[in-house]
Amino acid sequence: MSTSERPAPSTLSDLAARGVVLVDGGMGTLLQDMGLDDGGSGELWNLDRPDAVRDAHRAYAESGARVLTTNTFGGTRPRLEMHGLGDMVHQLNEAGARLARKEADRVGALVAGDVGPTGELLFPLGTLDAEAATALFVEQIQGLVAGGIDLVLVETMSDAAEAEAAVEAAHRVAPGLPVVVTFSFDTNLHTMMGVDPATAVTRMAAAGVDAVGANCGRGPGEMEAIAAAMVAARDALPEPGLLLVAQSNAGLPQVVGDHFEYDATPDDMATHAVALRDLGVDLVGACCGSTPGHVAAMSQAFGASPA
């Protein structure tokens, strides 16, 4: 089918109205397989090795993903300064969005501008205040919007206040774009900063997000328990319409020779995806350790054919 025959859905809600939405999987896993050094800046590849980044997006698109996530997880100024790239925030984020945009347009997918934690602690545990955090996120999101994203994805959050700062930034920079926030509940079904799934739902709903959920974590089993708690919290909200998201790691990492491999197979993730759909989750994807093979199996489990 030609690109002209694949019009992109106009909004995230349009896509969700058609049924469960398949989101892509881990980017870091693929880039490391392509040669990214452990601890290196994946975001720099948006300029230095754009073909590799685009290949990763293409692989997920062809596996059936209909939301492609930009290679910009560490794209805030504090994270880039760790690699001496603090003055390239706009450039790296815009480039990352443009690479995902090219592949998304081939299959009628949406582009999620990926925004990760700053790595700084907010007051009172740290010195960063909410307005300064918002300014950092504004800077990153401006680059993503310039590159043509369809929605803002704030992911792997631990601190609800930092998530709220990122949401505020998205609303300032791109008031017309949907905002999705996911937390990592990897400490006894809480985030590292003590946020539980129900609190995440209620606080993000109050912040005006379009979707909230969980990513990363300790594997499919725990993700299903988190998703169930989030569904219950959503059902208790006074206003309907909030979408839920779940993107589990592909199990847990195991030492195999001189490297780590995650222990959930594509079939495991396919079974997990159906369980999430049946719970009432609207957007389902994968996270660390996942590959296009995992996403293809999830797509097939939903009864879809990869592009």
Closest CA to 195 of 214, 223, 208: 214
Q: Any binding-site annotation on 287?
A: yes
CA 270 to chain centre: 19
Q: Any binding-site annotation on 216?
A: yes
Please answer whether residues 273 and 63 qualify as being in contact, where contact means their C-beta atoms are separated by less than 8 angstroms: no
Reported in sequence order, the residue ranges of the chain that DSSP labels E, i.e. its strands, are 21-22, 67-69, 110-115, 151-157, 179-183, 211-216, 243-248, 253-256, 259-262, 283-286
Q: Any binding-site annotation on 158?
A: no
The Cα–Cα gap between 127 and 92 comes to: 26
Q: What are 124-129's contacts with CB under 8 Å, separation 24+?
A: none
Residue position matching structure tokens 């596996």: 63
**What is the token pair recorded at 28?**
């870091």
The Cα–Cα gap between 79 and 75 comes to: 6
- Where do the H-state alpha helices sit in 17-72? 28-33, 45-48, 50-62
Question: Phi and psi of 256, rounded to 5°?
Answer: -130, 105
Please enumerate, by residue number, every residue annotated as part of a binding site: 216, 287-288
Binding-site residues for Zn(2+) sit at 216, 287-288
